[in-house]
Every structure is written in structure tokens, then in C-alpha cells.
């Protein structure tokens, strides 16, 4: 192309490329600093994304599922009489809504083992439906998730699963017997002997310390409660459409209430998504994007100080050279552009190296994670949710591109500070 401006740009790019390798050690150190900052930012973004996904998984897949339905009296006071009728469960299963559902019942009781006793929280599930909405029954530490009753000494022993901390407190293990005493729904004293068939891994602090998991059939036998259920766990096919699904479920509830009115004492039916059930986790996820931007600006900003130092030294050493170019008629803006192109090349090389190394390391975190099991064998709890002691990353290519672009923009802005000195040079003074 015979365009003088284009030809001059090509020439400036060639000179700029040669200039950055006039001092390879200094350029190498600058590239290392920028690439190191980008690697740190990519790893931080991957770990933050992995942690966020673990939060969503543990907040939904293990125990709560995506949505839950209760009566308001149960939410406010754990009123065991605030139930939803079984006809509602059938109606939801027969509807065309893209959901899987599972009913649950709750009660408080006194549990006694051979050597100790304590207060417990009973959670009753339908094992056939539960595995469609959560992974609760596969979250076992020992034993098996069997709920088939057994006959011993002419008595029916229903199986139960217990929380990890409760098993330690009562010295329970698979095969142990557990006696539960509670006030049944009709006011009588309900009591029965149960067989512990499994111990669950840590789910949430309260359930680990007090949780007893049984089948709805066992619950009905203990509590004489057959009229309904307290909670409906709902799993959506697409978690991104929860708001739409929540409105559809509310419409369905309004329609069902016209057909089968509910008593007023239990209050209205409330449907909550997992963000409303666990606000701290939802708030943390919303903050993660802002945290990533702030940390990115700090890390890349500190790394860009190396770029400022490099360009200051480069401009200072080449003052006479720039003065000569100005004296023979080269415009200051072209010299300024040449120095900016040098900065761009340094930033671009750093971005390529940093993104490749950072992505490779982040992929290792995605596959193996960082294992803290030697420090926290039972995991750690945060916002009422227990997480496994293995922190895994999750690499999103768009975040790598955005981090690289952020680094290039910041370093280019940083390079303008020393480059601006060229505009103020006076050839007669510097030659």
C-alpha cells in the first residue's frame, strides 16, 4: 500500500519492536511482573468462580433444592399443624411444570441411645422422590440409605440416618438402636425404637448436631400425622428460569386454593427460591463480581508500576535520540506513538504469557482443587452451609480475556505518564 501514514505506522511498529529488546533484561523483568500479576488475577477469578459454584451446589443440590414451599405459620413458628394437603402434591406432579418435587415433614423429639440422650430434629422424606430433587441420600459418611422397616421381637423398627455430630455425641453407628420420644400430632406421646442404618456427612451445622432423617411412613407411624406435609422441595430443570417458575407455581397455588381451600390458621402459601432461603450465600455471589474487579485493579495496578519504571528509564536513556529525531523534523506525536506502541507490545506479550500460564494452573485447580482435609476433615461451614474441605476452581475463558484486556488498558494508561515527557522535549536543550 502506497499510503505514507500507513507506511509510517508499519515503520514505527518495527522500530518499537526492536526498541523493547535493546535492553532484554529490563523488558523481561517488566513482562514477568505484568504476566505474574495477570496469573494471580486469573487464579483468583477461577477460585472465586469455583467457590461460588460450590456455594450454589451445596445450597441447592445437597439439601434445600432450588425452591421450597411452606405455609407462613410454619416459617414463622415451625407450627407442625401448618401443612399442605397431599392433593397439592398430586396436582403439581400432574401439571406440565418443568419441575421435580419431594414432600418433607419435620418435628422435634428427644433421642436416647444406650449411653446418652439429647434433643433432636426429625426430618422425614419420601426416599423415592427425594433423590430427584437433592443428593441428600448419597451424602453418606458410613452405612447405607435404606428405609425398609424390619421386624424384631414383634416390633417394627424403622431405619433412620443421623447427622455426623449427633452420631458422635450419642456414640451411634450403623446398626445402633435409637429411641425417639415426642409429642404426636394428636397430643399423645409418640415413642418408638429405630435402627440407625447410616451416618450422613456434614450438611449444615444444625442438622449435623441434631438431625434424624427418616421416611415419611416412619414419621406418620411416630407422629400420627397423615393429613399433609410441611415442606415441598422443588427442583427446576433450568436454574436460570427460577423467577418465571416461581410465578407459575404461585399461579398454580392460587388455582389449587380455589379447588381445595386451606385453613386460615396455617397462613398463606409462600414459595421461596434458594437465594431467599439462604440470603448470605446470594449476597456473597452478588459481591463476587465487584470483588473481582477491585482485586483486579489492585493487582494489575501494582504490576503496572513496573511498566512506569521501565518506560521512565527508557525515555530518560533515549532523550538525546528523541532530541535528534525532533531536530531533523520528526513530529513529537509520532515519537510519542512509537513509545506507546512499545508499551503495547510489552503488555501484549505479558498478556499472552500470563493468560496461558494462568489458564493451565487454573485448570489444575479445576480438576484437583486445593485440599484442606488435613486441616478441616469435616469441611467448613459458612452462612449455615457446610462445604467440603476441597476448594475447586472454575475457569471461564471470558474472564481470562477480560483480565488480559484490563491489564493491557491499565499498563497503556500507566505508560502514558513517562511518554508524555517526550512532547515537552526541546531539541536544542537535549542534543
- If 0-12 CB within 10 Å is exposed, 13-18 middle and 19+ buried, where does residue 380 land? middle
- pLDDT, tens digit, for every residue of 306-355? 778 777 777 778 778 878 887 887 787 888 888 888 888 988 999 999 99
Q: Is the dihedral of CA 314, 319, 320, 323 positive or negative?
A: positive
- In the predicted model, is pLDDT for residue 428 greater than 70? no
**Confidence check: pLDDT of 430 > 70:** no
Mean of all residue pLDDT scores within the chain? 85
- Predicted TM-score (pTM) of this structure: 0.70
Supply the pLDDT for residue 68. 93
- As a whole number of angstroms, the distance between CA 184 and CA 349 comes to 72
CB 140 within 8 A of CB 200: yes
Residue 136 confidence class, pLDDT cut points 50, 70, 90? confident
What was the pLDDT predicted at 366?
83
Mean pLDDT of 76-102: 89
Would you state the pLDDT for residue 70?
94
Q: Please report which helix (H) or strand (E) contains residue 142, including its range.
A: strand 140-143
Give 219-261 pLDDT, tens digit per residue: 998 988 888 899 999 998 887 788 888 899 989 898 888 888 8
Write out pLDDT tens, residues 293-303: 888 888 888 87
Amino acid at each position: 500500500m502506497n499510503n505514507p501514514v500507513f507506511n509510517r505506522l508499519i515503520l514505527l511498529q518495527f522500530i518499537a519492536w526492536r526498541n523493547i529488546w535493546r535492553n532484554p533484561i529490563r523488558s523481561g523483568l517488566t513482562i514477568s511482573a505484568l504476566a505474574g500479576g495477570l496469573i494471580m488475577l486469573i487464579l483468583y477469578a477461577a477460585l472465586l468462580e469455583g467457590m461460588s459454584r460450590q456455594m450454589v451446589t451445596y445450597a441447592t443440590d445437597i439439601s434445600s433444592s432450588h425452591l421450597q414451599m411452606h405455609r407462613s405459620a410454619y416459617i414463622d413458628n415451625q407450627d407442625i399443624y401448618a401443612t399442605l394437603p397431599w392433593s397439592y402434591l398430586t396436582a403439581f406432579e400432574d401439571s406440565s411444570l418443568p419441575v421435580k418435587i419431594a414432600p418433607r415433614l419435620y418435628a422435634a423429639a428427644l433421642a436416647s441411645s444406650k449411653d446418652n440422650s439429647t434433643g433432636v430434629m426429625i426430618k422425614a422424606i419420601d426416599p423415592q422422590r427425594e433423590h430427584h430433587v437433592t443428593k441428600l441420600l448419597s451424602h453418606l459418611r458410613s452405612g447405607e440409605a435404606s428405609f425398609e422397616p424390619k421386624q424384631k421381637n414383634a416390633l417394627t423398627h424403622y431405619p433412620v440416618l443421623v447427622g455426623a455430630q449427633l452420631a458422635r455425641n450419642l456414640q451411634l453407628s450403623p446398626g445402633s438402636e435409637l429411641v425417639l420420644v415426642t409429642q404426636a400430632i394428636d397430643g399423645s406421646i409418640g415413642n418408638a425404637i429405630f435402627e440407625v442404618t447410616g451416618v450422613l456427612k456434614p450438611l449444615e451445622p444444625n442438622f449435623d448436631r441434631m438431625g434424624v432423617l427418616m421416611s415419611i411412613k416412619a414419621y406418620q407411624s411416630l407422629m400420627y400425622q397423615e393429613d399433609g406435609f410441611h415442606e415441598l422441595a422443588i427442583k427446576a430443570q433450568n436454574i436460570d428460569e427460577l423467577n418465571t417458575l416461581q410465578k407459575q407455581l404461585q399461579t398454580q397455588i392460587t388455582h389449587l386454593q380455589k379447588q381445595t381451600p386451606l385453613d386460615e390458621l396455617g397462613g398463606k402459601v409462600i414459595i421461596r427460591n434458594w437465594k431467599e432461603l439462604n440470603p448470605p450465600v446470594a449476597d456473597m455471589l452478588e459481591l463476587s463480581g465487584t470483588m473481582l474487579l477491585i482485586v483486579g485493579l489492585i493487582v494489575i495496578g501494582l504490576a503496572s508500576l513496573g511498566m512506569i519504571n521501565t518506560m521512565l528509564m527508557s525515555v530518560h536513556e533515549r532523550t538525546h535520540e528523541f532530541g535528534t529525531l525532533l531536530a531533523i523534523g520528526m513530529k513529537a506525536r509520532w515519537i510519542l506513538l512509537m513509545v506507546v506502541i512499545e508499551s503495547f507490545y510489552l503488555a501484549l506479550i505479558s498478556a499472552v504469557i500470563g493468560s496461558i500460564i494462568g489458564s493451565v494452573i487454573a485448570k489444575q485447580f479445576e480438576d484437583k482443587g486445593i485440599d484442606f482435609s488435613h486441616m478441616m476433615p469435616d469441611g467448613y461451614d459458612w452462612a449455615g452451609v457446610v462445604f467440603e474441605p476441597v476448594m475447586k476452581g472454575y475457569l471461564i475463558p471470558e474472564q481470562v480475556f477480560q483480565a488480559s484486556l484490563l491489564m493491557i488498558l491499565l499498563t497503556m494508561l500507566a505508560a502514558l505518564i513517562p511518554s508524555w515527557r517526550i512532547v515537552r522535549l526541546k531539541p536544542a536543550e537535549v542534543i
